[in-house]
Amino acid sequence: MAMLALIASRADAAMIDWQAELQRCRTLRENVAPLLQAGEGISAVGRSNRSVRRCIWIQRMAMRKKIPGAEAW
């Protein structure tokens, strides 16, 4: 019984609120846009910022799963 509860709690932790993540990534993208316009590549910005790397991953997964609101970086 305890093992079943542990497995269920892990499954809940793995659920992604796609719309909330996509909104957070849009906000982050607006903040990173000046760096990109200044000539910094997305890979350089991504190496320096863990949040950017996560957002790139979220965007890729959302596009693969055809989540509404997903857009390429």
17-59: pLDDT as tens digits: 899 999 998 888 888 777 777 776 666 666 667 888 888 899 9
C-alpha span between 31 and 34 (Å, rounded): 7
For position 53, what pLDDT does the model report?
82
For position 36, what pLDDT does the model report?
72
Can you say how many angstroms the Cα of residue 41 is from the centroid of all Cα atoms in its chain? 18
For position 46, what pLDDT does the model report?
63
C-alpha span between 28 and 45 (Å, rounded): 12
C-alpha span between 70 and 73 (Å, rounded): 10
